[in-house]
């Protein structure tokens, strides 16, 4: 048997174990998002809510990349809706997917240097584009009368802007505190191996 085939034989179980481990963590994070979505503080109307359900989705993207993050966001939204007894409307799945995808896209940025302002910036695209702009437009399309859509949309922008400004601060501080506790470091989730290797390679290139 050649050395290459021996190496492949030895690394295959490790690779499979790592894949199973990632899958288990993603399932756990999706479940946590579903639970957190039920721990809400009611807002002044039935189409607005306040929760920290985006935090596990953000972490899934940050640890495992944009594809895994997006799938965790979609799964949490779908399963959570079904468990609540509501019919699923896919128009509302875009914001949770965005939290996972954008976190994955910011992975390398945070591996290089993880600070509170950088964490805040990493949350911002999903909050502004997804939770505020897109979801306000979706709610307007679903709930508003045709002749009142402009006013309804502006009202949603205002209320959701306030809501998610508060949520943004809470989400960022919560993730920052979890990092400060070294919880993710001890679990072997941070920094992600591939992102860490890429950051080291980039530093080496800059040094040359």
Nearest Cα neighbor of 61 from 108, 96, 23, 101 is: 101
Q: Does the residue 163 lie in any domain?
A: yes
User: The domain containing residue 135 runs over which residues?
Assistant: 18-195
Q: Does the residue 200 lie in any domain?
A: no
Q: What is the pLDDT of residues 23-62, one digit of tens each?
A: 999 999 999 999 998 876 555 554 456 789 999 999 999 9
Q: How many Cβ atoms sit within 10 Å of the Cβ of residue 40?
A: 12
Domain CATH number, residue 54? 1.10.1760.20
CA atoms within 13 A on the CB side of 175: 30
Radius of gyration of the chain (CA): 20
Q: Does the residue 204 lie in any domain?
A: no
Total of domains in the chain = 1
Q: Does the residue 202 lie in any domain?
A: no
Place of tokens 């479940």: 31
Q: Does the residue 9 lie in any domain?
A: no
Q: Does the residue 23 lie in any domain?
A: yes
Q: What is the pLDDT of residues 150-182, one digit of tens each?
A: 999 999 999 999 989 999 999 999 999 999 999
Phi, psi of 20, rounded to the nearest 5 degrees = -65, -35
- pTM for this structure? 0.82
């Amino acid at each position: 048997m050649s050395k290459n085939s021996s190496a492949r034989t030895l690394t295959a179980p490790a690779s499979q174990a790592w894949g199973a481990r990632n899958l288990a963590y993603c399932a756990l994070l999706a479940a946590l998002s579903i639970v957190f979505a039920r721990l809400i503080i009611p807002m002044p109307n039935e189409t607005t809510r306040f929760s920290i359900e985006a935090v596990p989705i953000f972490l899934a993207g940050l640890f495992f990349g944009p594809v895994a993050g997006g799938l965790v966001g979609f799964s949490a939204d779908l399963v959570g809706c079904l468990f609540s007894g509501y019919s699923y409307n896919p128009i509302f799945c875009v914001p949770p997917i965005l939290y996972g995808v954008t976190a994955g896209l910011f992975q390398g940025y945070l591996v290089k240097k993880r600070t509170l302002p950088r964490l805040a910036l990493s949350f911002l695209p999903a909050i502004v584009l997804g939770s505020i702009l897109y979801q306000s437009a979706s709610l307007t399309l679903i709930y508003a009368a045709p002749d009142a859509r402009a006013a309804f949309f502006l009202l949603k922008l205002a209320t959701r802007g306030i809501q998610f400004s508060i949520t943004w601060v809470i989400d960022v501080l919560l993730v920052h505190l979890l990092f400060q506790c070294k919880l993710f470091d001890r679990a072997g989730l941070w920094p992600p191996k591939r992102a860490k290797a890429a950051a080291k390679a980039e530093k080496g290139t800059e040094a040359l």
